[in-house]
Amino acid sequence: DAGVIQSPRHEVTEMGQEVTLRCKPISGHDYLFWYRQTMMRGLELLIYFNNNVPIDDSGMPEDRFSAKMPNASFSTLKIQPSEPRDSAVYFCASSLSYRGITMEQFFGPGTRLTVL
């Protein structure tokens, strides 16, 4: 298995532009998580899905952020419009649940977003 795949690896955009980050989880995993990492705030959970259904989006900073998981092998995180303070590394992670508890999380390589 190739692991969790994210694209693009780097994104530089201008303030006000729409940004779409993509993630392909490990096949067979039933949980998918989106995180944001910055020096100031550390690793923050934005939203997670179970079997393609959003379960908790309380970490999404504001309405400019949205996430979808149209099928078990693909998820997107969209920022519209983007702002300089959105600059961060965005990680996608997936995991398998066992007896109602998620196991270890496998992280993708991340997307480094820079908003100018």
Partner 1 sequence: GQQVMQIPQYQHVQEGEDFTTYCNSSTTLSNIQWYKQRPGGHPVFLIQLVKSGEVKKQKRLTFQFGEAKKNSSLHITATQTTDVGTYFCAAFSNSGYALNFGKGTSLLVTP
Selected range binding partner 1 among 8-16, 47-55, 64-72, 78-86, rule: CB under 8 A? 47-55
Beta partners for residue 115, in sequence order: 13
Q: Quick check: 110 binds partner 1 (CB under 8 A)?
A: yes
Residue among 11, 25, 33, 75 that touches partner 1 (CB under 8 A): 33
Binding of partner 1 by 100 (CB under 8 A): yes
Question: Do residues 12 and 19 lie in contact, with contact meaning Cβ atoms separated by under 8 Å?
Answer: no
Out of 60, 91, 94, 113, the residue judged to bind partner 1 by CB under 8 A: 91
User: Residue from 7, 54, 109, 114 that binds partner 1 (CB under 8 A)?
Assistant: 109
Segment near partner 1 (CB under 8 A); pick from 11-19, 20-28, 72-80, 104-112 = 104-112
CA distance 18 to 37: 20
Residues that bind partner 1 (CB under 8 A): 31, 33, 42-43, 45, 48, 50, 55-56, 91, 93, 97, 100-110
